Structure 1
Amino acid sequence: MRLVTTSLLALAIVVGLVTAEAHAADQPNVVILLSDDQRWDDYSFLGHDVIETPNIDRLASQSLVYERGYVPTSLCRPSLASLITGLYPHQNGITGNDPAEDKRTQAGRDVLVNRFQENPRLAEILGQHGYLSFQSGKWWEGNFSTGGFTEGMSHGDVTKGGRHGDVGLTIGRKTMQPVYDFIDKAVAEDKPFFLWYAPMMPHLPHNPPQRLLEKYTQPAGRSVAVARYFAMCDWWDETCGQVLDHLDKKKIADNTVVIYLCDNGWIQLSDKGGGAVGGPRGKRSVYDGGTRTPIMIRYPGHVKPASNKTDLASSIDVVPTILDAVGIKTDYNFPGISLLDQAQVNQREAIFGEIFAHDIPDYRQPELGLHYRWIIDGDYKLIVPSGLDDGEYGPDKLALFHVSEDPEEQHNVIAKHPEIAARLDKKLNAWWNPTVKQ
């Protein structure tokens, strides 16, 4: 099917071409639990032998878990923009965290926020079907209302500290009350709701409660930097438990779709504290340490809990998965699939991603900031550098990894399998070839 442009989608929404299969009162609630800067296997249910995540473990036991989940890009803002638009960064225009020019001014940021609003937005689509929605935590796109949320915490005013969440960043670290109040209001009004819970955790600053830091300072040889990161993962887990417990308290857990994932990876170096950037193979990198995350879907009575260790999933799939779960159809052909549709999952051959510069040279020409494209097909991952990067966040030449046998991507096997690399490169170019005008 031909991909409909975002401008046409906006027109379709305005004229009411988005339709629903069910009345709002019959539809389930939606909660997204979004971790921030956490490596994909830094959970006890995935085998970490130190970090304790009992609440997320419990959620995993109740969910369909895609262990081979990925985000298309390993940096905060473009990862979040992809998650809520259902589009790749090169499609939605949000490829980095800041504009290259006027990055700290309201006018400079408004240019990107205006571009963001041309895209489909999950909260807006749900809102057209009677959903209340609430933004809390990380939010880069100005005021919460630009995402289509009916309520939220972030104002987006640069003169008052607006950039990536402002007031919203108090959620989890300082208070949970705004989330509780929103859920209570939606329940009292008998309205379906969408909760965006994206606290800046375990993201820097790594300043966990002393009780948790003490828990991870042993053995004596463990660095304080690592202990602080471990404790932050534990603290994040606690807050997830508080959200899930409140759903239980209000007796709405069985009618709520919960999605769990992380925006990008992180590797905590033992000699780095507050100045760490997530390690050379973590945040911002093209490697799995930056792009991989478990993706979980809990919907009691509708989605059978299972651990899927083989099929590939992407955060690009979250929007179509949620719309499928709540029974909403749109005229937009999102590039992702519903992870609840086993036929679509079985038919998928590959997933794709792209890594860009931190600052966006020109949102109208995403290729100007492109560092890498990547594809995973089966057990193999091909990384294609653009030539713009110096190798800090990935290889400086074509690289093929057998990620099932070599999850840390230490052995480039392209010389052994040039035919596999050629096949994957052809698929990658069919997905997006920046040298060809779209």
Structure 2
Amino acid sequence: MIRNLMIALAVICGIVAADRPLLAADQPNVVILLSDDQRWDDYSFQGHEAIKTPNIDRLASQSLVYQRGYVPTSLCRPSLASLFTGLYPHQNGITGNDPREDKRTNKGRSVLVKRFRQNPRLAEILGQHGYVSFQSGKWWEGNPKSGGFTQGMTHGDVTKGGRHGDVGLNIGRKTMEPVMKFIDESVAADKPFFLWYAPMMPHLPHNPPERLLEKYQAEGRPLAVAKYFAMCDWWDETCGQVLDHLAEKGVADNTIVIYLCDNGWTQLADMGGGAVGGPRGKRSVYDGGTRTPIMIRYPGHVTPAENTTALASSIDVVPTILAAAGIKTDEKFPGINLLDPEAVGKRQAIFGEIFAHDIPDYNHPEQGLFYRWVIDGEWKLIVPTGKDEEEFGPKEPVLFNLKSDPEEQHNVIEQHPEIAKQLHEKLDAWWSPKV
């Protein structure tokens, strides 16, 4: 390809240094691999005793891996909207999966999509700099054009079954052809591309191929658990197909690959069809709901490493991609560039928020707010509003030491009132809604 040959020659000649982000003219491709409903340590590279994820393991070995990665909220739509806009849910207005009013009509959903379009959107920004883009898998915001995609699988029409991806949800489970075709066409046209690969995997329904289910069936292991394990394996297979295709087309070295999950999950033995994700998983304020590894692969520009101490957030993905692509905007994103050691070193805390599933009023996010949380170093403070009747978190403020108590079982707020006070002040300085 002419574009890649020119970049390679520039690197060889010293015009472009191989150890720094490319300029906008270099235009690296961008691929986001987004898991759906998977706990942060449900990977073999994270030490899981049964789940095998060789392709994601390989990606991790080639990436800068932030082990202490988080999403600000643990529910699908607001998590994806935050990732895509680079803004917190209370900033972009997408705090839940559905509007409380007219939730099953085009009227209700179109209001939220219109609100979404008022935000900065990753595909839109990249498109302004010559990128073609493709949406596949989960997508809540109507037609993919609402996000600035030039192409996509989803139609987004509620009257035709549109809600969170419709026909786009065939990707991974039924076909890989649309994604491969997009990569092929982009390479052939010599266009920089952005791929949003977000299958509903390992998300319910847990219906893995029999060959994978057999792999995980074992004496004493409930069938529901074996199915979930097999779904994680199936998801890994599809990631491998995408990564292998990038290599086959000769564009892997000029492609930024970012991997993360939208929210956590807890697979219970008797959960064959429930959608909650078990206690302390999906929708919860605990790490089981909000934590995810965040990985960045960019050969020649990002040194593979495992960062086990620094805090990272999905809020950081947009500014990281734009910085790596040399794209500057006037947007004031709250996140940081995860490839900037100085910015990473200066960060003290990350923040998050948990809301009602149905949005009462996108203009007043505090109306649906259940919890705010902050992590500073090894400490995590959770502050509830008292509105959560389903108990996705505590009823009173709690403080955990994540280093000594990673499963958040021991509230130490009475032993460390000053630390709790300091974290509460940081939380209020970040966002102090009147609830």
CA offsets, 1:66-105, max 9 Å, x none? 0000000000000000000000000000000000010000
Q: Displacement of 1:418 after TM fit?
A: 0.3
Q: Would you say 1:370 and 2:369 are equivalent positions?
A: yes
Q: Displacement of 1:277 after TM fit?
A: 1.6
> Is the 1:132–1:150 Cα contact (8 Å) retained in structure 2?
yes
Q: In structure 1, how many angstroms separate the alpha carbons of the residues matched to 2:273 and 2:387?
A: 28
Tell me the secondary structure at the aligned position of residue 215 of structure 2.
helix
The corresponding residue for 1:380 is: 379
The corresponding residue for 2:5 is: none
Q: How does 1:316-395 map to 2 (within 5 A)?
A: 316-390=315-389, 392-395=391-394
TM-score, normalising length: structure 2: 0.94
The corresponding residue for 2:214 is: 214
Q: How does 1:5-404 map to 2 (within 5 A)?
A: 22-24=23-25, 26-218=26-218, 220-390=219-389, 392-404=391-403
Q: Displacement of 1:50 after TM fit?
A: 0.3
Note the residue ranges of structure 2 that are not aligned, 5 or more in a row: 1-20
The corresponding residue for 2:14 is: none
CA offsets, 1:17-44, max 9 Å, x none? xxx98454x2100000000000000000
CA offsets, 1:226-260, max 9 Å, x none? 00000000000000000000000001000000000
Tell me the secondary structure at the aligned position of residue 297 of structure 1.
strand
The corresponding residue for 1:8 is: none
Q: In structure 2, how many angstroms separate the alpha carbons of the residues matched to 1:94 and 1:171?
A: 24
> Is the 2:22–2:324 Cα contact (8 Å) retained in structure 1?
no
State, as a whole percentage, how many aligned pairs show the same letter: 79
The corresponding residue for 2:10 is: none
| Counterpart residue type for residue 35 of structure 2 | S
CA offsets, 1:162-215, max 9 Å, x none? 000001000000000000000001101101000000000000000000000000
Q: Displacement of 1:391 after TM fit?
A: 5.8
The corresponding residue for 1:6 is: none
| Counterpart residue type for residue 57 of structure 1 | D
TM-score, normalising length: structure 1: 0.94
Coordinate RMSD, CA, aligned: 1.1
Q: In structure 1, how many angstroms separate the alpha carbons of the residues matched to 2:387 and 2:245?
A: 47
Tell me the secondary structure at the aligned position of residue 343 of structure 2.
helix
Q: In structure 1, how many angstroms separate the alpha carbons of the residues matched to 2:233 and 2:364?
A: 40
CA offsets, 1:381-423, max 9 Å, x none? 0000011113610000000000111111000000000000000
CA offsets, 1:260-287, max 9 Å, x none? 0000000000111112421110000000
Q: In structure 1, how many angstroms separate the alpha carbons of the residues matched to 2:403 and 2:93?
A: 32
State the aligned residue count: 415
| Counterpart residue type for residue 363 of structure 1 | Y
Q: In structure 1, how many angstroms separate the alpha carbons of the residues matched to 2:137 and 2:405?
A: 35
| Counterpart residue type for residue 366 of structure 2 | E
Q: In structure 2, how many angstroms separate the alpha carbons of the residues matched to 1:275 and 1:405?
A: 32
Q: In structure 2, how many angstroms separate the alpha carbons of the residues matched to 1:23 and 1:247?
A: 21
CA offsets, 1:274-302, max 9 Å, x none? 12421110000000000000000000000
Q: In structure 1, how many angstroms separate the alpha carbons of the residues matched to 2:290 and 2:408?
A: 13
Note the residue ranges of structure 1 that are not aligned, 5 or more in a row: 1-19
> Is the 1:37–1:265 Cα contact (8 Å) retained in structure 2?
yes
Tell me the secondary structure at the aligned position of residue 318 of structure 1.
helix
Q: In structure 1, how many angstroms separate the alpha carbons of the residues matched to 2:352 and 2:275?
A: 24
Q: Would you say 1:430 and 2:410 are equivalent positions?
A: no
